[in-house]
Structure 1
């Protein structure tokens, strides 16, 4: 089988640069490419999945959890492992994230980025 790997996840937003700036601060990623309506960021060491952001004027924020038929559904979310869930949640909020009102698990915090995409901070717990 040929070598295949996911290299980049792309998120739409009203402002690609604003959203890229948020994730650069949150993840410590570096900007790899910067165009008028598109930005690519990735880990400083170049190893791992990159994120790109595309300006989409018709972008509609997803609703999570979905409440009624017709709501723009979440199509994906990012899972971000952290060492200290409480501290990293506070840092994410300070960087511009919003804590979701519904939290389904004790070892996970669901937040929304500035464009409304849900993402999860999670911590490894002993089984």
Structure 2
């Protein structure tokens, strides 16, 4: 038996808004989805599919798993996230390999922008 990673599911109050944010940020189109849900990609795609699942309760604490999004320019990446309705948390880490900044989408799901040298 071979196990493989095929996707990530993100709980959302406003599925359309959050899926739209991630679709624009990652340049991934919507694909046919269950009613009320939004999928970006298919299970067999080279990149894992993102699934946006409706929930009724807001996020209350820092999530323990997050996405890393590679960018060519960290400042342009931050500006793009902000223009799409997300925010820069103010947390930045500079390493020998590159830079990592912690961002949040419009519902405060944290993720990192990474720029490798």
Deviations 1:1-35 (A, max 9, x none): x2221111001010112111100000000111233
Question: Superposition pairs for residues 75-94 of structure 1, below 5 Å?
Answer: 75-94=64-83
Paired residues in the alignment total 112
Q: Answer yes or no: is 1:54 the counterpart of 2:46.
A: no
Structure 1, unmatched stretches of 5+, are 62-71
Offset at residue 114 of structure 1 (A): 0.9
Match of 1:41 in 2: 40
Match of 1:11 in 2: 10
Could you say what secondary structure the match of 2:72 adopts?
coil
Structure 2, unmatched stretches of 5+, are none
d(CA) in 2 for partners of 1:59 and 1:6?
A: 26
Equivalent of 2:62 in 73, 93, 97: 73
Cα RMSD, aligned residues only: 1.8
Equivalent of 1:119 in 87, 111, 115: 111
TM-score under structure 1 normalisation?
0.80
TM-score under structure 2 normalisation?
0.86
Equivalent of 1:99 in 83, 88, 113: 88
Offset at residue 37 of structure 1 (A): 2.2
Deviations 1:60-81 (A, max 9, x none): 24xxxxxxxxxx2312110011
